[in-house]
Amino acid sequence: MAIDQINGCIGCGICVQACPTDVIRIEEESGKAVIRYPEDCQICHLCRMNCPVDAITITPEKSIPVIVAWG
Amino acid sequence: MNTIIKKYNLFVLVVFIVVLPVLLWSRVIISHRALYKEMISIMTILAFFQLLGQFYLNRSNKLVSYHKMGRVVTFHKIIGYLFIGILIFHPFLIVLPRYLEPGMSVTDAFISLITTFKTGVVLGIISWVLMILLVLISLLRNRLGMKYRTWRTVHGVLSVIFIVLATWHAINLGRHTDVFMSVFMIMVAGGGIALYLRKLIKDIKVGGENGKRNVTAPVFGDGRSRECAVASE
């Protein structure tokens, strides 16, 4: 699992739109984002970078190192 | 006994509004979160608890009456202005990481924040506006042309509304508000509000009886009531 936890979510839903693999969903009861399919996370960091209140944390040890192209 | 209460009552207050919130915050320190973000969080939590503590630093709390009321009111004012000064920046501090880290711009983040009309956010916006209003009516007290007692009631009632909404906002959205922190917040806020309402009801009863008997409060030479003279010491 790469996406770790969501704390302090305001329920704007931007992370749901940003996630390419639909890991995050808005929970109907609370109206806040929840990690629904953690095993699908590709560690792209799009959710974290697009969260206005920095509510999403991603485990650093599982982050993919930046790949530099040759030539 | 009086000396013991006088010596330890403020110590107990500090434990409740500083030590316990720090301990409860430390239970929920979020792993992998940058230190500066956690520092902003604890600063906000402590500032909020100081405002909750304001309900215990006034004449409605019998235990602080062992100290000079003028001194207590001075502390009330200093704490109020200082920590409201911090909490005014709370909505901007929340989006600060977007300025320091890649991704969404800080302006877009702030617009997203204030245009998300969910319960927690709306409560936060209303509380923030009420907080500004509280500062303004405190700063402009002499210019408002209200009697001191009327001003005190307006200030108290606004504070109660503010603290109810702000506590609800903190419980709904706070990233460090787990069950223990929520229960503790409700206890501190509830206790303070109960103290204030008891005093308010007592004041209204006394005011009503004085009105019936046509008794006026004792006034000083310059026309101020005793409470007004003590408050402005």
Note whether residue A46 is domain-resident: yes
Tokens of B118: 């969910």
Task: Return the SS3 of B225.
Answer: strand
Q: Mean pLDDT, chain A, as a whole number? A: 85
Q: B36 or B28: which carries more pLDDT confidence?
A: B36
- The predicted-structure confidence for A43-66, as pLDDT tens digits, reads as follows 888 999 999 999 998 887 656 655
Domain residue spans in chain B?
Answer: 2-212
Q: Give percent of chain B with pLDDT exceeding 70.
A: 85
Note whether residue A28 is domain-resident: yes
Residue of B nearest to A5 (CA): B30
Amino acid (one-letter) located at B215: V
* CB nearest to B118's CB, from A11, A49, A58: A11
Note whether residue A49 is domain-resident: yes
Round to whole Å and give the CA distance between B42 and B14.
Answer: 16
Which CATH number fits the domain that encloses residue A32? Answer: 3.30.70.20
CA B149 to chain centre: 19
Residue of A nearest to B29 (CA): A7
In sequence order, what are the beta bridge partners of A58?
A3
Q: Report residue B31's pLDDT band, with 50, 70 and 90 as the boundaries.
A: low
Tokens of A30: 């609370």
Length of chain B counted residue by residue = 233
Residue B5: per-residue pLDDT: 67
CA B58 to chain centre: 12
Note whether residue A33 is domain-resident: yes
Give yes or no for B27 touching A (CB within 8 A). no
Number of other residues whose CB lies within 10 A of the CB of residue A15: 25
Task: Tell me how close the Cα of A2 comes to any Cα of chain B, in angstroms.
Answer: 12
Cβ under 8 Å to B: A residues 1-60 = 4-5, 7-12, 14, 31, 45, 48-55, 57-60
Model confidence at B221: pLDDT above 60 = no
Burial call B94-109: b when 16+ CB within 10 Å, e when fewer: bbbbbeeeebbebeeb
Residue A26 backbone class (left: φ over 0; alpha: ψ -120 to 50; beta: rest): beta
Section B40-60 average pLDDT:
90
Q: B167 or B70: which carries more pLDDT confidence?
A: B167
pTM for the whole structure: 0.83
User: Is A52–B113 a contact, with Cβ atoms under 8 angstroms apart?
Assistant: yes
Note whether residue A47 is domain-resident: yes
Q: Which residue has the tokens 């319960």?
A: B119
Domain count, chain A: 1
Note whether residue A40 is domain-resident: yes
- The predicted-structure confidence for B67-100, as pLDDT tens digits, reads as follows 788 888 888 999 999 999 999 999 999 999 899 8
Length of chain A counted residue by residue = 71
Strands A3-6 and A56-58: antiparallel
Model confidence at B215: pLDDT above 90 = no
